[in-house]
């Protein structure tokens, strides 16, 4: 019985169908893609999965996300556990990201990919929720993808707070003031992001906490790390209503008198708040900072330490 010979396209489709049955079901899904660029991206993905002997997902991600996944896997390689995590979770993240943040996610996720497993399910969920409010939070977080698990987790928490407060500018300012490569310079620098994250999470006034952290970092990274670590404990002992004014006063003192005034702000200033209340202490701090700005840091410190009769206002 005569059978019409197969044309080239039919031969190739039959080839992919057989590979789908014998090598990977992803080949059958590749055949269903219409655009040549998407088929190429799917082919690159399948090649990577098979050559690395990875557990393949049951389905390819959406066609517009194929290129992102291929690039993300390359960025995460050779961390096999991270690559496997991304393969298993990526399609779910694409589905979960808010529609208005989808393009930002697809354009930026590859840079974050090396840290995806460090973030884990909880961290990625937190980041996607933050992106729903402010898609651009992805970029400053991704800048720390090649650092430590503790740092990237702290940045994800900062991103969530930045989105909640609509203060992306503060997260971007942190990334500018303390670039990820700074973490390689010292142990204090390595542990700064977690210390800032812990402090800002403890504070019931995130913008004021971040502004203080930035003021400290600008002056000395080692002191900033230690001060932020101590501040987390101070916040836990103060009424939540006092957090914002106290943190703002702390920042004003540092800006007027320098990092050497951090010890006073950590130990003495909270006691003044407890004894005299926010309104009185804010006036006192304002006068001390004015003295520093007009007559120098020593004059400001002398006012804080109440070494003149004029400074004994309570």
What pLDDT does 4 receive?
Answer: 64
The pair of structure tokens assigned to 261 is 């005034």
What pLDDT does 278 receive?
Answer: 97
The pair of structure tokens assigned to 101 is 């943040």
* Eight-state DSSP code of residue 179: -
User: Cα(36)–Cα(232) distance, rounded to whole angstroms?
Assistant: 54
What pLDDT does 19 receive?
Answer: 84
What pLDDT does 16 receive?
Answer: 81
> Coil, strand or helix: which one is 87?
helix
User: Cα(41)–Cα(62) distance, rounded to whole angstroms?
Assistant: 11
Q: Using alpha carbons only, how large is the chain's radius of gyration in Å?
A: 27
Q: Which residue has the tokens 């529609």?
A: 99
Show pLDDT as tens, one digit a residue, over the chain (314 residues): 545 666 787 888 888 888 887 888 898 888 888 899 999 999 999 999 999 999 888 899 999 999 999 999 999 999 999 999 999 999 999 999 999 999 999 999 999 999 999 999 999 999 999 999 999 999 999 999 999 999 999 999 999 999 999 999 999 999 999 999 999 999 999 999 999 999 999 999 999 999 999 999 999 999 999 999 999 999 999 999 999 999 999 999 999 999 999 999 999 999 999 999 999 999 999 999 999 999 999 999 999 999 999 999 88
Q: Tens digits of per-residue pLDDT, 174-218?
A: 999 999 999 999 999 999 999 999 999 999 999 999 999 999 999
H helices of the chain, in order, are 8-22, 26-31, 36-51, 66-76, 80-96, 102-112, 116-133, 138-142, 149-165, 168-177, 187-190, 192-202, 206-219, 221-237, 240-257, 262-276, 278-295, 297-304
The pair of structure tokens assigned to 45 is 């993905």
What pLDDT does 2 receive?
Answer: 47
φ, ψ for residue 221 (rounded to 5)? -65, -45
């Amino acid at each position: 019985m005569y059978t019409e010979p197969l044309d080239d396209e039919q031969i190739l489709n039959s080839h992919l169908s057989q590979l789908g049955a014998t090598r990977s079901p992803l080949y059958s899904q590749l055949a269903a893609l219409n655009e040549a660029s998407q088929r190429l991206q799917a082919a690159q993905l399948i090649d990577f999965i098979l050559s690395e002997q990875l557990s393949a997902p049951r389905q390819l991600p959406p066609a517009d996300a194929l290129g992102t996944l291929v690039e993300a896997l390359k960025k995460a390689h050779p961390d096999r556990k991270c690559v496997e995590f991304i393969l298993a979770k990526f399609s779910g993240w694409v589905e979960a990201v808010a529609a208005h943040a989808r393009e930002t996610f697809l354009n930026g996720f590859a840079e974050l990919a090396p840290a995806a497993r460090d973030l884990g399910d909880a961290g990625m969920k937190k980041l996607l929720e933050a992106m729903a409010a402010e898609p651009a939070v992805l970029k400053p977080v991704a800048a720390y993808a090649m650092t430590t698990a503790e740092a990237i987790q702290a940045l994800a928490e900062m991103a969530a707070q930045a989105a909640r407060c609509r203060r992306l500018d503060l997260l971007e300012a942190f990334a500018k003031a303390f670039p990820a490569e700074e973490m390689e310079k010292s142990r204090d620098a390595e542990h700064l992001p977690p210390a800032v994250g812990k402090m800002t999470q403890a504070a019931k006034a995130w913008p004021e906490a971040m502004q203080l952290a930035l003021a400290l970092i600008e002056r000395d990274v080692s002191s900033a790390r230690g001060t932020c670590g101590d501040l987390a404990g101070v916040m836990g002992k103060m009424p939540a209503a006092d957090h914002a004014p106290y943190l703002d006063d702390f920042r004003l003192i540092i800006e007027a008198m320098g990092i050497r005034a951090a010890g006073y702000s950590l130990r003495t200033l909270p006691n003044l708040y407890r004894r005299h209340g926010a309104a009185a202490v804010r006036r006192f701090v304002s006068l001390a900072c004015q003295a520093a700005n007009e007559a120098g840091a020593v004059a400001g410190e002398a006012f804080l330490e109440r070494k003149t009769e004029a400074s004994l206002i309570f």
